[in-house]
Amino acid sequence: MKLNTLNLAAFLALGSVAGNIYAEPMVYGHGSKKCGSFVAAIEEKRAGNGEHVYQFMVWTSGYASAWSAEYKFDYFKNADTKSLEIWLDNYCQKNPLDTYLMATIKLLGELRDR
């Protein structure tokens, strides 16, 4: 079985037997930031500056597009950007030390299971 970065991320994040004892895969951009950074960006958006939230959501769209291409599944079918943003904010509020990558992987798992 080809174990590429996406498969490894899914294996580690979505219920592997070994749990999360292994390091997350190398990721670039906003995925490497902590969830607390996303929460801070949401607070900035509420104060009138949504640029950082936009950057996070663009990263999320790109990551989801890669998963969709790899697994031939439309993760964002029937999902609107605002709902995705709210889900990510709720997750990150509860898990500020997780990476934004982990929040995105959990979101994709949630969307996959709908």
For the chain, the domains span 33-112
Tell me which amino acid residue 9 is.
A
Which pLDDT score, from 0 to 100, does residue 24 have? 61
Q: Is 27 left (phi over 0), alpha (psi -120 to 50) or beta?
A: beta
Tell me the Cα Rg of the chain: 14
Q: What is the predicted pLDDT for the residue at 27?
A: 83
Token pair 């949630």 is found at: 110
The predicted pLDDT at position 44 comes to 97
pTM over 0.75: yes
pLDDT higher than threshold 80 for residue 78:
yes
- pLDDT digit string (tens) for 95-111? 999 999 999 999 999 99
> Which residue is listed with tokens 């970065």?
5
Q: Is residue 20 pLDDT above 90, yes or no? A: no
Confidence at residue 32, expressed as pLDDT on a 0 to 100 scale = 92
| Residue 107 near residue 56 (C-beta atoms within 8 A) | no
Give the model's confidence band at 28: pLDDT under 50 very low, under 70 low, under 90 confident, else very high. Answer: confident
In degrees and rounded to multiples of 5, residue 4 shows phi and psi of -85, -175
Q: Please, what is the average pLDDT of the chain?
A: 84
Packing angle, helices 100-112 and 81-94, rounded to 10: 120
Higher pLDDT: 13 or 88? It is 88
